[in-house]
């Protein structure tokens, strides 16, 4: 059996097209829009689905054969930078958050991918502003529901540094959406 495996062509691990690959991690490019069948979708030009409880967000990711991102995975999308795009705070109009005067650029959620200058260098969009996003507690840490990313109606500190906002009521929904993650999967050469 081992001799048979030795001649198989090398296989690499890849992510589905709607996800960004960060090493062996796949993270949705956009905030999730939940379809009528309950499946989380990561597509540009859709309103992210908000009003999800932590359990509903996790279920939507599972329905898409993914998982709710662990907190450290969500932060990894920032690439180790203070802000997803670099070290400078956003300038007015760069992200869907209120400007320095407190004026809101939007009256509601933006369509996913509408603020491309607000994305990460790696291509993960909508990490700051638009909708808060649920994260799962990191393995081995006390179980706590948390959110990251900010929302269209409030500007906050960088979502990439510091602790997440701990939500003591995982049943709270408000303006919280989801972003899904998964592990990169083997891409067999004959299936390309």
Residue 162, pLDDT score: 74
Residue 91, domain member (yes or no): yes
Strands of 115-154, DSSP E: 132-135, 145-148
Mean pLDDT of 128-152: 85
**Token output for 46:** 């859709």
pTM: 0.86
Residue 84, domain member (yes or no): yes
Nearest to 54 by CA among 168, 182, 183, 181: 168
Q: Of 6-10, 22-26, 80-84, 130-134, where does mean pLDDT reach its minimum?
A: 6-10
Distance (Å, whole) CA 69 – CA 8: 33
76-115 CB burial, b ≥16 within 10 A, e <16: bbbbeebbbbeeeebeeebbbbbeeeeeebeeebbbbbeb
Structural domain count, the chain: 1
Residue 107, domain member (yes or no): yes
Which domain range does residue 176 map to? Answer: 18-183
Residue 188, pLDDT score: 55
Distance (Å, whole) CA 183 – CA 22: 10
Q: Which tens digit of pLDDT belongs to each residue from 12-33? A: 789 999 999 999 999 999 999 9
Is pLDDT of 129 > 50? Answer: yes
Residue 4, pLDDT score: 47
Residue 42, domain member (yes or no): yes
Distance (Å, whole) CA 172 – CA 41: 22
Residue 5, domain member (yes or no): no
Long-range contacts of 58-63 (CB under 8 A, 24+ apart): 58/134, 58/136, 58/178, 60/32, 60/34, 60/178, 60/180, 61/32, 61/178, 61/180, 61/181, 63/37, 63/38, 63/39
Q: Which tens digit of pLDDT belongs to each residue from 163-177? A: 777 776 667 777 889
Is pLDDT of 192 > 60? Answer: no
Distance (Å, whole) CA 192 – CA 12: 11
User: Which CATH number belongs to the domain containing residue 121 in this structure?
Assistant: 3.90.1580.10
Owner of token pair 């939007």? 106
Residue 3, domain member (yes or no): no
Q: Which tens digit of pLDDT belongs to each residue from 106-118? A: 678 899 999 999 9
Residue 106, pLDDT score: 65
């Amino acid at each position: 059996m081992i001799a048979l495996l030795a001649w198989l062509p090398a296989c690499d691990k890849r992510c589905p097209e709607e996800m960004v690959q960060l090493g062996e991690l796949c993270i949705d490019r956009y905030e999730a829009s939940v379809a009528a069948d309950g499946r989380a979708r990561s597509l540009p030009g859709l309103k992210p689905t908000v009003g999800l409880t932590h359990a509903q967000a996790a279920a939507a990711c599972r329905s898409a054969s993914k998982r709710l991102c662990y907190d450290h995975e969500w932060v990894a999308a920032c690439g180790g930078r203070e802000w997803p795009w670099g070290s400078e705070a956003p300038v007015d109009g760069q992200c869907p958050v209120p400007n320095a005067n407190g004026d809101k650029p939007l009256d509601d959620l933006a369509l996913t991918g509408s603020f491309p200058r607000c994305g990460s260098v790696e291509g993960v969009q909508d990490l700051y502003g638009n909708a808060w996003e649920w994260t799962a507690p990191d393995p081995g840490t006390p179980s706590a529901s948390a959110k990251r990313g900010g929302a269209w109606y409030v500007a906050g500190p960088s979502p990439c540094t510091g602790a997440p906002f701990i939500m003591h009521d995982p049943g709270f929904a408000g303006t919280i959406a989801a972003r899904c993650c998964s592990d990169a999967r083997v891409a067999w050469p004959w299936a390309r």
